[in-house]
């Protein structure tokens, strides 16, 4: 029996009918960061461990598996909780507790088996992170953004706050991918994400919608006024040059704003307005660029003859 307890990778705690600890194996000592002397002979309801619910809130002694099993005489399975070590390390566990009975059927003690699920918990958290965040930039992805935006719109219909969505597309990004490669493009996107977060601060939620498109959610009584200021910051920040492997590259943000203008508006309506405004800004910039190019070309033509255009 002792060899089985010592070799088990699961924590095992055995108590008598009064709740005094008879056995606490090495695996349980590791999970709780306690020594054997901290367990043996101690009452289970006064052990010097920090047991919490999985969300980090304290777990009262009366609700702990051993106490419940001793009191009810019934088995408990799949109880999720965690131990917090003195150094703040958290060990997540699943617990089963089974009553021990004597020949007359009366409860004579209990056995608690503890399974360390910390790695599984970390994997679940990582998968949840990947499901809601962009793998490259770490920003919320489209799915997460739309969920947050839907919640903001629902709240706005009840409390009258303003919801604005700023949609952003990067001009000049495709040539970076084509000429310097996708790794260079990824570095630019990561840096743009950082600059957007810096420009927005705590005022809104920045998300990557896909490719070189980003969106910002702003909520509040003066969200539309705030959007104009943030737009200026983004223009200045994101238009600054990037140094990639000895090359200086530039991208320019084209932006469009969509605002909740009617209580019956849906997220698709606001996103459509923001997207349309963004493409209008992009078209305006291209038109302006063409006009500038035409003027430069015309002046160069006349300069060939030592003349100047009107």
Residues that are catalytic:
212
Specify which residues 109 forms β-bridges with: 16, 100
What are the φ/ψ torsions at residue 264 (nearest 5 degrees)? -85, -5
Please name the residue that has the structure tokens 């598996």.
65
Closest CA to 168 of 227, 212, 230, 223: 212
Helix %, strand %, coil % of the chain (to 5): 45, 30, 25
Beta strands at 252-259 and 247-249: parallel, antiparallel or unpaired: unpaired
Beta strands at 90-101 and 107-116: parallel, antiparallel or unpaired: antiparallel
Count H helices, E strands: the chain?
Answer: 10, 12
Q: Decide if 249 contacts 274 (C-beta within 8 A).
A: no
Tokens of 308: 């100047």
């Amino acid at each position: 029996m002792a060899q089985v307890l010592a070799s088990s990778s699961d924590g095992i705690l055995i108590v008598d009918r009064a709740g005094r600890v008879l056995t606490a194996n090495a695996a349980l000592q590791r999970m709780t960061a306690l020594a054997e002397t901290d367990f043996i002979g101690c009452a289970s309801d006064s052990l010097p461990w920090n047991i919490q619910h999985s969300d980090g809130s304290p777990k009262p002694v009366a609700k702990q598996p051993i106490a419940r099993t001793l009191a009810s005489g019934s088995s408990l399975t799949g109880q999720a909780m965690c131990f917090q070590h003195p150094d703040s390390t958290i060990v997540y566990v699943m617990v089963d507790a089974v009553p021990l009975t004597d020949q007359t059927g009366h409860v004579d003690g209990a056995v608690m088996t503890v399974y360390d699920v910390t790695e599984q918990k970390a994997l679940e958290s990582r998968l949840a992170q990947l499901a809601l965040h962009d793998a490259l930039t770490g920003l919320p992805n489209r799915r997460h953004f739309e969920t947050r935006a839907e919640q903001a719109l629902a709240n706005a219909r009840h409390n009258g706050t303003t919801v604005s969505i700023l949609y952003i597309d990067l001009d000049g990004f495709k040539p970076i991918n084509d000429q310097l490669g996708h790794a260079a493009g990824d570095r630019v996107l990561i840096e743009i994400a950082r600059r957007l977060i810096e420009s927005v601060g705590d005022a809104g939620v920045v998300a990557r919608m896909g490719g070189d498109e980003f969106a910002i959610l702003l909520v509040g009584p003066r969200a539309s006024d705030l959007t104009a200021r943030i737009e200026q910051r983004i223009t200045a920040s994101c238009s600054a040059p990037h140094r990639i492997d000895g090359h200086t590259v530039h991208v320019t943000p084209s932006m469009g704003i969509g605002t909740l203008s009617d209580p019956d508006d849906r997220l698709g309506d606001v996103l459509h307005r923001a997207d349309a405004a963004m493409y209008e800004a992009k078209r305006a910039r291209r038109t302006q660029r063409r006009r500038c190019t035409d003027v430069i070309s015309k002046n160069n033509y006349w300069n060939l003859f030592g003349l100047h255009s009107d």
